[in-house]
Structure 1
């Protein structure tokens, strides 16, 4: 709602710029969509690498603190 009110204010102050923004916004969004998908894929690869590299520590119980170990022993 805030973005719409700001756009209305821009429409009142400078209507050519507001119309240009209204036309260019979907085009810019479409151009940036592949970069967003690439970012999601890279984030997935980093999450997979993190899971693979921390698996031995999690299997050996490296995630527990000292208090937890003392209570279970």
Structure 2
């Protein structure tokens, strides 16, 4: 929602910049997509490591 409000603000005060932002947004999204995928993978690995470290405590009845 904040992105939309910023874009509308740009459209009112500087429409060429708003148009350029609207056209370049998909390009930036595609460029950042691999970093999101890597972030999801790293998060999964860290959750797996956390589960392995906490496994003995869970087996002994801890929370």
CA offsets 1:18-39 (integer angstroms, 9 cap, x no match): 0110011110010000000100
Partner residue, 1:46: 46
Unaligned 5+ runs, structure 1: 64-73
Partner residue, 1:71: none
* More RCO (CA 8 Å, sep 6+): 2
The alignment partner of 1:46 has SS state of helix
Moved over 4 A (4+): none
- Could you tell me the TM-score, scaled by structure 2's length? 0.86
Q: Distance in 2 between matches of 1:18 and 1:58?
A: 53
- Could you tell me the TM-score, scaled by structure 1's length? 0.76
How far apart are 1:12 and its partner, in Å?
Answer: 1.9
The number of residue pairs the alignment matches comes to 63
Unaligned 5+ runs, structure 2: none
Q: Distance in 2 between matches of 1:34 and 1:4?
A: 24
Partner residue, 2:19: 19
Say whether residues 1:61 and 2:61 are aligned partners: yes
